[in-house]
Structure 1
């Protein structure tokens, strides 16, 4: 198992950050640069959850998002992934910051194949800076 952790500061309010995290409308592909329309599908949605496939030709995953607006938390449990298979996911914790919000992110990968294990092992070292830049862009305005 590999865990990649980072945080992003945003000028958005915590409520606005949660709105971005939980928006599964067609706007999602415009907001998140790593998600293209060919690899975005909402399979089901309800109060506090959504089952989606999202990503791009290089890397996509299908999973279940669950969130709690009051506690400002959201998680994605990965059911299927092109690169890593099932297991792991994303964990988001949003808190107040002096100029807006702080988003703490943890990405957990539980790969089974040899190549995926190597990639997952490198994620905390070489992936965190790129992921942080990508998230900072999404939550910048």
Structure 2
């Protein structure tokens, strides 16, 4: 099992970032590169939870999203072609006095078959910089979405 931990700061509010995380409409891949429209299927959606399948490049997972806590989104893997066990993602948000938001992101990858176990080792060993870059791109895209611009400048 691989657990990867990130910290990031964004100009977005927790509400704006939660809104992006829970927007399962077309074009989701513009915010989240590992979630293409081809794999996206919303099975159920409530006021503070959803059951969604998403993925890309031959890897998919069905996730239970829970955003009942306004400062935290927990995405638990309920089915996947490679991930199982304790797999999922947790985003925790903390408001700063300067108006920015600190994000704490934890990604857990536990392979459920040989392919998943191999991918889990690769992600745990070499994947952190790749996932960190993907998170940075997501943060920029969410900020751009919130300001109405096509791109976001970060300081």
TM-score where L is the length of structure 1: 0.86
Q: Shift of residue 117 of structure 1?
A: 2.1
- Could you tell me how far apart the structure 2 residues matched to 1:126 and 1:8 are? 19
Residue deviations 1:46-105, cap 9 Å, x none? Answer: 0110100111133211111011343x1011111112222454211110112446212211
Q: Deviations over 1:7-51 (max 9, x none)?
A: 222121222112111222224233222221111010100011010
Note if contact 1:7-1:104 (Cα within 8 Å) is conserved in structure 2. Answer: yes
CA drift at 1:4: 1.2
Q: Residues 87 and 108 of structure 2 are in contact (CA less than 8 Å); yes or no, is this contact kept in structure 1?
A: yes
CA contact (8 A) 1:41 1:54 kept: yes
Unaligned segments of structure 1, at least 5 residues:
none
Number of the residue aligned with 2:54: 54
Using the alignment, how far apart are the partners of 1:29 and 1:41 within structure 2? 13
| RMSD of aligned alpha carbons | 1.9
Query: How do 1:98-117 and structure 2 match up within 5 A?
Result: 98=98, 100-117=100-117
Task: Provide the C-alpha distance between the structure 1 equivalents of 2:114 and 2:62, rounded to a whole number of angstroms.
Answer: 21
Structure 2 gap segments, 5+ residues each: 144-155
Contact 1:29 / 1:40 at 8 angstroms: preserved in 2? no
TM-score of the superposed pair, with normalisation by structure 2: 0.79
